[in-house]
Amino acid sequence: MPRKKKLPSLDLDKIRKIKRGWIEISFVLALIIPFIAGLVIKDWSIYTDALSDFGTHPGTAGIWSVYLIILAIGIWLHGMQKIEETFDGVRAHILYYIINVASTSLMLTAFITEIFRGLHGLVAGTFFVSYMIFIFMYGFWQLESNLKEGAPSVVAGLLLLLTSLLIIPFNGLAIFEIAYILIIVVWNYIIHKKHRVEKLSKMFTIDETK
């Protein structure tokens, strides 16, 4: 009887490093790609246009689609990781469902561009609403046990809701979308680098026991 070949064991540390690297890269791209794309399209205006315009312009369509896919996977990986670390039972299942809807909707915007106006608006709107709900609920359910842990997420969720008011004074969606991106990047960084943020906060906190 020929011996069965052993399957190579999974290097969990390497997998964790890859996940962490992907998440961090997606945060960085979320900040720089919209800026670069805005420079490429000379007649694009932050006041009258939308970020989704980058998905149809010949000069930015390719990089914009790749960027959205990377960001969607990064949001999904980070969301799943934080749920596993924080919740179980019904709350975990609800948050799993919401993060799956949010990340899938964002990824679909890479393929369903503004050429398909109504459908694009539906999937983009689903992402904005579902991810806002995810962040808010993630924090709200933590308030019962740890106010310090839950408060940043609740505040971030409320700020995301308030960003929708930016649609009123401007003809385009870009300012609303940029404000939304900035908030979710800051929130993800705070949650992802929680220990580093805590160290920084201690540096600027006066120790009253001394």
The token pair that represents 206 in the structure block: 């006066």
- Whether the CB-CB separation of 46 and 178 falls below 8 Å is answered with yes
- pTM score above 0.85: no
Per-domain residue ranges for the chain? 19-191
What span, in angstroms and rounded, lies between the C-alpha atoms of 19 and 79? 12
Question: Tens of pLDDT along 155-171?
Answer: 999 999 999 898 888 88
The pLDDT mean for the chain works out to 84
Residue 138's closest CA among 152, 128, 124?
A: 152
Q: Does pLDDT of 197 surpass 50?
A: no
How large is the greatest C-alpha to C-alpha distance in the chain, in angstroms?
76
What pLDDT does residue 111 have? 94
Q: Does pLDDT of 104 surpass 80?
A: yes
Q: Give the count of beta carbons closer than 10 Å to the beta carbon of residue 134.
A: 26
The token pair that represents 179 in the structure block: 């404000």
